[in-house]
């Protein structure tokens, strides 16, 4: 007899960064609202992001990413991966989930490998515009490969693919209802460098804003900037000399409010950042992380640059003079900024969690 929806369990396998865990959480929230049980399998790093993850149970497993450029590390990584698969296999046999959902990152590998061996249906969600290595390996075995963007490089032929968007947190969806702020007074620039901050952004931004903008514009600017701990004082000093009001911190917990209050956002182009910019509808200058695997951040940025919502500056080309000129041009044209905000909103996929949950339920009933 088929399980009723309240008896159904989805095991979510996700990697060790917020970029993987936040969409997984939004998906879990949606399924729990539908009466599903949810569980999370990750490694110790991933579970640091999961203190309030909506799960009936969470399990830590061994995981590793083999580095074949350092062959002496491969045997140790293989041992960890095999231990992770063994534990994941025991968990799946014990709990008998209706579905395993992989959200990428190497800690997702053991649970997906165990699901494949046991014949448990698999779905995959790829946040970036380039299929990650773990998701790439299991794409052919998945009932569905869902993606955060329409573009999805390295998707194997013959896979069932649906671009549902990236599930975003409920507070982001609430911030999306807030209008673009008026531009007749203070101008707010929000600068973020990803979950761990960015040294190059911390170095470039104060030089661009405090030394390259025209004085009348500089007098109206307020900067909220994510800065590494060791850079806070030097960055604050540059802004202080230029008499620019600033708020600096290594981490901001209230990202939805910061995005909603911004006239212009300057950021890396991680999948979560790009999706949240679209959801809230804010114009941006994006500086992709140059060392990102398969240059996936540049691919992500195209979701906003292609609709005229963002400018993309490659890390190798960016400098304070160029950046300052671009910031000045954008903030000096209120109508253009409002048009860019609307263009960002047009790229949003606010129902991503719902659409992904709909597909998960259909697949679980097959």
Distance between CA atoms of residues 224 and 191, nearest Å: 6
pLDDT of amino acid 196: 53
Contact 260, 90 (CB under 8 A): no
Q: Cα dihedral sign for 281, 287, 289, 290?
A: positive
pLDDT of amino acid 366: 65
Q: What is the dihedral of CA 118, 115, 144, 56, to 10 degrees?
A: 120
Q: Which helix (H) or strand (E) holds 65?
A: none
pLDDT of amino acid 6: 47
pLDDT of amino acid 200: 83
pLDDT of amino acid 5: 45
CA distances from 7 to 37, 307, 337, 362 (A): 7, 43, 49, 15
Distance between CA atoms of residues 97 and 31, nearest Å: 14
Mean pLDDT in order along the chain per 10 residues (366 residues): 63 90 95 97 91 95 78 81 95 96 95 97 98 96 98 97 95 96 96 72 90 94 93 92 94 93 96 97 96 93 98 94 97 97 97 97 88
Q: Which helix (H) or strand (E) holds 139?
A: none
**Six token digits for residue 140:** 């052919």
Question: Going from the N-terminus, what domains does the chain have, and what CATH number goes with each?
Answer: 5-168+350-365 (3.40.50.2000), 173-346 (3.40.50.2000)
Q: What is the pTM of this model?
A: 0.92
């Amino acid at each position: 007899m088929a399980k009723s929806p309240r008896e159904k369990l989805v095991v979510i396998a996700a990697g060790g960064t917020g970029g993987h865990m936040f969409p997984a959480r939004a998906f879990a929230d949606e399924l729990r609202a539908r009466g599903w049980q949810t569980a999370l399998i990750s490694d110790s790093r991933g579970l640091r992001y999961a203190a309030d993850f909506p799960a009936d149970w969470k399990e830590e497993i061994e995981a590793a990413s083999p580095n074949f450029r350092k062959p002496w590390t491969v045997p140790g990584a293989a041992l960890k991966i095999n231990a992770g698969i063994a534990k994941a296999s025991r968990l799946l046999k014990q709990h008998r989930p209706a579905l395993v959902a992989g959200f990428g990152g190497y800690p997702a590998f053991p649970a997906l490998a165990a699901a494949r061996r046991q014949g448990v249906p698999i779905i995959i969600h790829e946040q970036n515009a380039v299929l990650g290595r773990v998701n790439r390996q299991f794409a052919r075995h998945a009932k569905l490969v869902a993606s955060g963007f329409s573009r999805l490089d390295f998707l194997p032929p013959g896979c069932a693919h649906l671009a549902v968007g990236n599930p975003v947190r409920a507070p982001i969806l609430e911030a999306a209802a807030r209008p673009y702020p008026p531009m007749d007074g203070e101008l707010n620039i929000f600068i973020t460098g990803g979950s761990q901050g960015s040294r190059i952004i911390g170095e470039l931004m104060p030089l661009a804003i405090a030394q390259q903008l025209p004085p009348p514009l500089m007098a109206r600017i307020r900067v909220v900037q994510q800065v590494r701990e060791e850079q806070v004082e030097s960055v604050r000093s540059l802004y202080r000399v230029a008499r620019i009001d600033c708020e600096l911190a290594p981490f901001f917990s209230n990202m939805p409010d910061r995005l909603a209050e911004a006239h212009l956002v300057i950021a890396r182009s991680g999948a979560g950042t790009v999706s949240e910019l679209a959801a809230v509808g804010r114009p941006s200058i994006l500086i992709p992380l140059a060392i990102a695997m398969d240059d996936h951040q540049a691919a992500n940025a195209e979701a906003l640059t292609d609709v005229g919502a963002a400018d993309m500056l490659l890390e190798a080309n960016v400098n304070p003079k160029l950046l300052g000129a671009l910031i000045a041009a954008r903030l000096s044209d209120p109508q253009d900024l409002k048009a860019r905000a609307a263009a960002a909103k047009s790229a949003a996929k606010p129902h991503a969690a719902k659409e992904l949950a709909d597909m998960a339920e259909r697949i679980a009933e097959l």
